[in-house]
């Protein structure tokens, strides 16, 4: 009898591919194991075994596999089922899902580039001859393709050897960026409590008359304190007092000074004494927890709608604890890795080393480690915190899935396929795993809130901030008049400047939100109106002051800033619009003494870049943090009493049916960063249009009104959640061909489906990376079978692909496009 396997190749193939195996191989292999297989003329891929059987394929002679790569499966049946669902629902291939689901180290192929790993010194005596040869080759070349290794060690089956070198950390794969960052511990001091009264202090100073150095240190501490209310660093005290480390140490030992650390929790929690022992929920948290548990009993998803700083995290912790005590695994999804560092600390403080982190900025080694720990149900990975890709991990025993900040649109993957929504895919995952699922937000999405209102989900609410902290006071500042009368200083109204000065004087911190990165998005010639365009995309280049460059935000193209207009040669170039970099610079002029930092895409590249900025802000090394969207999300800073929104209008005027919902969410979230402790926070929103309904709803914290108005509009104008949207994008280098092809596609859709078909139309940016784009929007009624509709679309695509002149045109689907 002959034996075969169907495998998933990590490429966009519609079908599984069949290979021939021996009888022994058939006995050994299990579904979910990896094999190295030849493909095409000379390629080698890592493929996943999907099915083992005895039926020969009809249309081609199957090749033999090169090698089996695993001893036990690395992918479970439930994962396959979930991935198949993703492929079907989001209209892509299983191979595309596999490619984004598995850590790249699991998917070596002939084209993968490998590099020596400089971080780890390797013990050569432990290397096999062939491994040694590969490392030798890497000494003389900075990178080699796996294909080339075939020649170096003169054999075909190289993937197992390369896999071993990866496991030994002797090599790394091309896309890796390594960066080492040891978070620093900053030591602070304050005077012991017992010396807070004036008398006690005088007695203290008298007792120190014979220790002049110590007394000098105490006096210096006093004078620093008088100047500012900020925490005092040991290093600052040393400089100011001229006292040595030893003097300060002896004062600490005597208990005259108290030493403390801010953010000591950034290190591992191996020390049980620093662990947070217990959390006592307040009444409204208890109430919410009960509602959630009750919903779980009915096998429903629960939405936790709790205002900013109401203590949602503590409720999640209780839910995680419950799952763990039942011996289950837990998954905690976050939209953005920017958030994870603070959350990791909070969860580690409570759960110690049962918490693992998984996201794309982690190295292959770390990702493979977490994968294996989850697969083996190790205690270390009982709780996994991660961005959207964490939902692909090999869980086998999930008890709870938490989707935090469920409203965030970054849960939707835009490119490449699978273009899945992690919140929705997480709900399906929970379902496949018989796990509970809770969605949380201070500003739920219209979809989820509707599901909660009509009983599909449970709804738990927390309407007040924890510890009776007041909701921030939101003030709308009309800048129309001020702009007309030229009373703005740069982009700052007098009102905002006033509040900033006051907060700086109090020694507190400020967050300023600006919707754009870069300095001045566009440099325009005032003589002829020309602005530099990206040669690959249909956008103007944006100016980045830091590098004095013009850059394209779509493809990364950049050029040096020109001194004269490229078109007319005039040197009257002017900056239009403004971004984070410009706000930062204006601040430096307006408040020369303030320490200003910036958080946006440009300043947060690299693995620990977010952490560095967040830590530095937490440790009060900055007074003002200027940032884009990134500063709005879930961060919990103790000392921020003012949040300023530089310009709310660019958000509101965005041409998109979700612009209003998003503006409400974003403004409410960023406002929520203010005043999270005792003092009431202040939020100033600069706008040309203070009577806009959304701004009114934000300032009155009126979510219900926003929800009902938006829902009404969606019903009127036929948008989700009233119906589903499938966006079909066609791409080609040739403008005319694209026009023709997309017209053909849209006509066919109209003929076959009786759903609303809009377009084809050029999007706002109609050319990206040298390809023209055209969109067709399909609005599918909710009561119709989405499966049938998708099948019809796929059939149309088949006929489309059969037309020879359209061969080069790429078709991309985005289901539930947001
Ligand atoms: P949210 O996630 O809803 O914005 P958080 O969970 O960050 O709110 O809670 C806000 C603050 O209140 C945090 O500093 C948190 O530590 C504190 N907090 C919330 N619940 C409790 C509790 N039960 N006991 C002690 N502190 C709490
Ligand atoms: Zn010009
Ligand atoms: Zn470009």
Residue 780, beta-bridge partner list: 724
597 and 658: one domain? yes
Candidates 707, 794, 796; CA nearest to 746 is: 796
Helix axes 337-351, 609-618, angle to 10 degrees: 70
**Is residue 578 lining ligand 1, measured as CB closer than 6 Å?**
no
Give 355-402 pLDDT, tens digit per residue: 998 877 676 777 888 999 999 999 999 999 998 999 999 999 999 999
User: Which ligand 1 atom lies nearest to the CA of residue 404?
Assistant: 2
Helix axes 312-325, 283-297, angle to 10 degrees: 50
Residue 68, beta-bridge partner list: 35
Q: Of 669, 685, 712, which closes a domain?
A: 712
Strand order in the sheet with 257-262: 232-233, 186-191, 257-262
* Mean pLDDT score, 541-561: 80
Task: Give the burial class of 657: count Cβ atoms within 10 A of its Cβ; 0-12 exposed, 13-18 middle, 19 or more buried.
Answer: middle
Could you check whether the bond before residue 341 is cis, i.e. omega within 30 degrees of 0? no
Q: Is 473 helix (H, G, I), strand (E, B) or coil?
A: strand
Q: Is the pLDDT of residue 773 over 80?
A: yes
Residue 476's pLDDT is 95
The CATH number given to whatever domain includes residue 745 is 3.30.70.600
Residue 754 or residue 605, greater confidence: 754
- 224 pLDDT tier (thresholds 50, 70, 90): confident
d(CA 72, CA 60) in angstroms, rounded, equals 29
370 and 432: one domain? yes
Residue 557's pLDDT is 83
Quote the domain boundaries for residue 133.
Answer: 110-178
Write the residue with the smallest CA distance to atom 20 of ligand 1: 311
**Is residue 163 lining ligand 1, measured as CB closer than 6 Å?**
no
Residue 155's pLDDT is 77
- CB atoms < 10 A from the CB of 238, how many? 16
552-581 burial, b at 16+ Cβ within 10 Å, e below that, comes to: bbebebeeeeeeebeeeeeeebeeebbbbb
In a domain, 70, yes or no: yes
Candidates 621, 663, 657; CA nearest to 645 is: 663
173 and 250: one domain? no
Query: Distance from the CA of 447 to the center of ligand 1, in angstroms?
Result: 26
456 and 544: one domain? no
677 and 608: one domain? yes
Residue 129's pLDDT is 82
Residue 779, beta-bridge partner list: 725, 756
Q: Residue holding tokens 């566009």?
A: 522
- 642 pLDDT tier (thresholds 50, 70, 90): very high
DSSP 186-226: EEEEEE-GGG-SHHHHHHHHHHTTT-HHHHHHHHHHHHHHH
**Is residue 308 lining ligand 1, measured as CB closer than 6 Å?**
yes
Cβ proximity of 741 and 732 under 8 Å: yes
Cα dihedral sign, 223-228-230-233: negative
Please state, in angstroms and as integers, the Cα–Cα distance from residue 515 to each residue in 405, 537, 583, 632, 685, following that order.
Answer: 19, 22, 11, 11, 13
Q: Of 666, 691, 712, which closes a domain?
A: 712
CA angle 808, 813, 818 (to 5 degrees): 140
Residue 498 or residue 578, greater confidence: 498
792 phi/psi in degrees, rounded to 5 = -60, -40
User: Which ligand 1 atom lies nearest to the CA of residue 465?
Assistant: 10
Residue 591's pLDDT is 96
Choose the residue to mutate in 313, 317, 470 for probing ligand 1, maximizing ligand atoms within 8 Å of C-beta: 313
* Mean pLDDT score, 738-748: 96
Choose the residue to mutate in 466, 635, 639, 640 for probing ligand 1, maximizing ligand atoms within 8 Å of C-beta: 466
In a domain, 767, yes or no: yes
* Mean pLDDT score, 222-231: 72
445 and 296: one domain? yes
**Is residue 443 lining ligand 1, measured as CB closer than 6 Å?**
no
Cβ proximity of 667 and 696 under 8 Å: no
* Mean pLDDT score, 28-42: 90
Length of the chain: 818
Residue 274's pLDDT is 46
Which ligand has the minimum distance to the alpha carbon of residue 527? 2
Residue 176 or residue 432, greater confidence: 432
Residue 457's pLDDT is 97
d(CA 304, CA 288) in angstroms, rounded, equals 8
Query: Distance from the CA of 335 to the center of ligand 3, in angstroms?
Result: 26
- Which of 180-194, 541-555, 593-607 is predicted least confidently? 180-194
423 and 570: one domain? no
- 179 pLDDT tier (thresholds 50, 70, 90): very low
Residue 725's pLDDT is 92
d(CA 122, CA 772) in angstroms, rounded, equals 49
Write the residue with the smallest CA distance to atom 18 of ligand 1: 311
Q: Is the pLDDT of residue 785 over 70?
A: yes
Q: Is the pLDDT of residue 496 over 90?
A: yes
* Mean pLDDT score, 446-458: 96
Q: Is the pLDDT of residue 528 over 80?
A: no
In a domain, 326, yes or no: yes
- 728 pLDDT tier (thresholds 50, 70, 90): very high
Task: Give the burial class of 796: count Cβ atoms within 10 A of its Cβ; 0-12 exposed, 13-18 middle, 19 or more buried.
Answer: buried
Residue 265 or residue 102, greater confidence: 102
d(CA 304, CA 175) in angstroms, rounded, equals 38
289 and 382: one domain? yes
Cβ proximity of 362 and 369 under 8 Å: no
DSSP 423-456: HHHHHHHHHHTT-EEEEEESS--HHHHHHHHTTS
* Mean pLDDT score, 181-205: 72
Cβ proximity of 536 and 769 under 8 Å: yes
* β-bridge pairing 542-544 and 549-551: antiparallel
Residue 384, beta-bridge partner list: 331, 356
Element (H, E) at 500: helix 494-505
Which conformational region is residue 797 in: left (phi greater than 0), alpha (psi within -120 to 50 degrees), or beta?
Answer: alpha
438 and 301: one domain? yes
Helix axes 129-140, 159-167, angle to 10 degrees: 80
Residue 634's pLDDT is 60
Residue 703 or residue 337, greater confidence: 703
**Is residue 461 lining ligand 1, measured as CB closer than 6 Å?**
no
230 phi/psi in degrees, rounded to 5 = -70, 160
Residue 606's pLDDT is 67
**Is residue 441 lining ligand 1, measured as CB closer than 6 Å?**
no
In a domain, 170, yes or no: yes
Cβ proximity of 675 and 640 under 8 Å: yes
- Which of 12-26, 269-283, 368-382, 754-768 is predicted least confidently? 269-283
d(CA 347, CA 742) in angstroms, rounded, equals 50
437 and 313: one domain? yes
Cβ proximity of 169 and 105 under 8 Å: no
In a domain, 265, yes or no: no
Q: Is the pLDDT of residue 194 over 70?
A: yes
Residue 554 or residue 723, greater confidence: 723
Give 511-520 pLDDT, tens digit per residue: 999 876 555 5
d(CA 745, CA 729) in angstroms, rounded, equals 10
Cβ proximity of 170 and 124 under 8 Å: no
CA angle 94, 99, 105 (to 5 degrees): 145
d(CA 16, CA 646) in angstroms, rounded, equals 53
State how many domains the chain has: 7
Structure tokens at 95: 């191979």
Query: Distance from the CA of 413 to the center of ligand 1, in angstroms?
Result: 30
Q: Integer distance in angstroms from the first to the last C-alpha of the chain? A: 51
Element (H, E) at 558: strand 558-560
Q: Is the pLDDT of residue 523 over 70?
A: yes
Query: Distance from the CA of 279 to the center of ligand 1, in angstroms?
Result: 10
**Is residue 636 lining ligand 1, measured as CB closer than 6 Å?**
yes
Write the residue with the smallest CA distance to atom 2 of ligand 1: 312
Q: Is the pLDDT of residue 228 over 70?
A: no
**Is residue 633 lining ligand 1, measured as CB closer than 6 Å?**
no
What lies within 8 Å, CB to CB, of 113 at 6+ separation is 143, 144, 145, 146, 173, 174
**Is residue 309 lining ligand 1, measured as CB closer than 6 Å?**
yes
Residue 180's pLDDT is 35
d(CA 384, CA 390) in angstroms, rounded, equals 8
Please state, in angstroms and as integers, the Cα–Cα distance from residue 699 to each residue in 102, 311, 474, 703, following that order.
Answer: 44, 21, 5, 10
Structure tokens at 73: 């499966």
**Is residue 668 lining ligand 1, measured as CB closer than 6 Å?**
no
Structure tokens at 294: 């009750």
What lies within 8 Å, CB to CB, of 694 at 6+ separation is 652, 660, 663, 664, 667, 706
Residue 4, beta-bridge partner list: 20, 53
Cβ proximity of 564 and 594 under 8 Å: no
In a domain, 415, yes or no: yes
With 0.85 as the threshold, say if the pTM is over it.
Answer: no
Using a pLDDT cut of 90, give the percent of the chain over it.
Answer: 46
Strand residue runs (E) in 326-397: 329-333, 355-358, 383-386
Query: Distance from the CA of 550 to the center of ligand 2, in angstroms?
Result: 16
Residue 438's pLDDT is 98
Using a pLDDT cut of 70, give the percent of the chain over it.
Answer: 92
DSSP 16-36: -EEEEE-HHHHHH--TT-EEE
In a domain, 677, yes or no: yes
- Which alpha helices (DSSP H) does 91-158 contain, by range? 94-101, 129-140, 146-152
- CB atoms < 10 A from the CB of 437, how many? 24
Residues 319, 324, 326, 327, Cα dihedral to 10°: 150
In a domain, 667, yes or no: yes
CA angle 282, 285, 290 (to 5 degrees): 120
Give 304-336 pLDDT, tens digit per residue: 999 988 999 999 999 999 999 999 999 999 987
Which ligand has the minimum distance to the alpha carbon of residue 536? 3
Q: Of 255, 280, 306, which closes a domain?
A: 255
- Which alpha helices (DSSP H) does 570-628 contain, by range? 580-590, 609-618
378 and 433: one domain? yes
d(CA 331, CA 391) in angstroms, rounded, equals 8
Give 671-694 pLDDT, tens digit per residue: 888 877 777 889 999 998 899 999
Query: Distance from the CA of 526 to the center of ligand 2, in angstroms?
Result: 7
Residue 36, beta-bridge partner list: 46, 67
Look over the chain and give the mean of its residue pLDDT values, rounded to a whole number.
86
Candidates 589, 693, 685; CA nearest to 646 is: 685
- 273 pLDDT tier (thresholds 50, 70, 90): very low
d(CA 440, CA 620) in angstroms, rounded, equals 29
353 and 450: one domain? yes
The CATH number given to whatever domain includes residue 681 is 3.40.50.300
């Amino acid at each position: 009898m002959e034996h075969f396997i169907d495998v998933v190749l990590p490429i966009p193939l519609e079908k599984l591919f069949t290979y021939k195996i021996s009888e022994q191989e058939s006995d050994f292999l299990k579904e979910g194991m990896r094999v190295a297989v030849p493909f095409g003329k000379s390629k080698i891929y890592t493929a996943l075994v999907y099915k083992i059987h005895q039926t020969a394929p009809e249309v081609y002679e199957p090749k033999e596999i090169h090698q089996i790569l695993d001893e036990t499966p690395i992918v479970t049946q439930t994962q396959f089922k979930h991935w198949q669902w993703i492929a079907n629902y989001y209209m892509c291939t299983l191979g595309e899902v596999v490619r984004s689901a598995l850590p790249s180290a699991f998917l070596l192929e002939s084209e993968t580039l490998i590099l020596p790993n400089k971080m780890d010194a390797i013990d050569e005596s432990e290397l096999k001859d062939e491994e040694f040869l590969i490392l030798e080759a890497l000494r003389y070349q900075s990178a080699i393709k796996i294909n080339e290794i075939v020649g170096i060690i003169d054999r075909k089956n190289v993937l197992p050897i390369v896999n071993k070198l990866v496991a030994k950390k002797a090599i790394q794969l091309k896309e890796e960026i390594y960066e080492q960052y040891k978070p620093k511990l900053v030591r602070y001091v304050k005077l012991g409590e017992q010396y807070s009264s004036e008398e006690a202090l005088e007695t203290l100073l008298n007792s120190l008359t014979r220790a002049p150095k110590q007394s000098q240190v105490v006096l210096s501490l006093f004078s620093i304190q008088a100047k500012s209310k900020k925490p005092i660093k040991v290093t600052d005290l040393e400089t100011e007092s001229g006292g040595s480390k030893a003097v300060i140490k002896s004062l600490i030992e005597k208990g005259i000074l108290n030493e403390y650390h801010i953010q000591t929790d950034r290190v591992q929690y191996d020390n049980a004494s620093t662990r947070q022992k217990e959390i006592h929920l307040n009444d409204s948290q208890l109430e919410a927890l009960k509602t959630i548990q009750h919903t779980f009993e009915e096998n429903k998803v629960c939405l936790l709608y709790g205002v900013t700083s109401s203590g949602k995290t503590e409720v999640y912790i209780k839910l995680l604890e419950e799952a763990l005590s039942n011996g289950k695994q837990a998954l905690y999804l976050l939209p953005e890795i920017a958030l994870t560092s603070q959350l990791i600390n909070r969860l580690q403080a409570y759960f110690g080393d049962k918490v693992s982190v998984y996201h794309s900025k982690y190295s292959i080694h770390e990702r493979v480690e977490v994968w294996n720990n989850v697969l083996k149900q190790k205690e270390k990975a009982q709780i996994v915190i991660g961005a959207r890709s964490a939902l692909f991990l090999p869980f086998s025993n999930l008890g709870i899935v938490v989707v935090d900040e469920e409203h965030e649109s970054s849960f939707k993957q835009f490119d490449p396929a699978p273009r899945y929504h992690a919140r929705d895919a997480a709900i399906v995952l929970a379902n496949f795993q018989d796990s509970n699922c809770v969605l949380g937000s201070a500003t739920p999405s219209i979809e989820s809130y509707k599901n909660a209102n009509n009983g599909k989900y449970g709804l738990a609410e927390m309407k007040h901030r924890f510890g009776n902290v007041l909701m921030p006071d939101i003030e709308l500042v009309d800048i129309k008049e001020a702009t007309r009368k030229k009373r703005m200083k740069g982009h700052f109204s007098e009102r905002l400047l006033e509040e900033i000065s006051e907060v700086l004087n109090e020694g507190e911190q400020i967050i300023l939100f600006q919707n754009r990165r870069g300095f001045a998005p566009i440099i325009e010639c005032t003589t002829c109106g020309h602005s530099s365009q990206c040669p690959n995309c249909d956008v103007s280049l944006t100016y980045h002051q830091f590098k004095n460059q013009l850059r394209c935000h779509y493809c990364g193209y950049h050029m040096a800033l020109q001194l004269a207009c490229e078109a007319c040669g005039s040197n009257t170039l002017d900056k239009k619009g403004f971004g984070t970099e410009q706000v930062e610079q204006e601040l430096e002029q307006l408040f020369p003494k303030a320490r200003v930092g910036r958080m946006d895409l440009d300043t947060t590249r690299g693995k620990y870049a977010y952490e560095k900025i967040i830590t530095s802000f937490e440790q009060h090394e900055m007074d003002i943090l200027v940032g884009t969207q990134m500063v709005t999300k879930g961060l919990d800073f103790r000392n921020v009493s003012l949040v300023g929104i530089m310009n709310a209008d660019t958000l509101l005027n965005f041409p998109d049916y979700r612009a209003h919902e998003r503006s409400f969410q974003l403004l409410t979230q960023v406002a929520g960063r203010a005043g999270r402790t005792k003092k009431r926070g202040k939020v100033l929103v600069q706008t040309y249009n203070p009577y806009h309904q959304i701004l009114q709803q934000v300032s009155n914290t009126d979510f219900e009104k926003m929800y009902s108005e938006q829902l009404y509009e969606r019903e009127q104008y036929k948008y989700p959640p009233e119906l589903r949207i499938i966006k079909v994008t066609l791409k080609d280098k040739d403008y005319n061909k694209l026009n023709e092809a997309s017209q053909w596609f849209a006509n066919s859709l109209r003929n076959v489906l009786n759903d609303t078909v809009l377009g084809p139309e050029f999007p706002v940016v109609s050319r990206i990376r040298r390809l023209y784009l055209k969109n067709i929007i399909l609005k599918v009624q909710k009561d119709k079978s989405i499966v049938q509709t998708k099948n019809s679309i796929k059939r149309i695509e088949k006929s489309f692909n059969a037309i020879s002149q359209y061969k080069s045109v790429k078709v991309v689907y985005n289901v539930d496009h947001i």
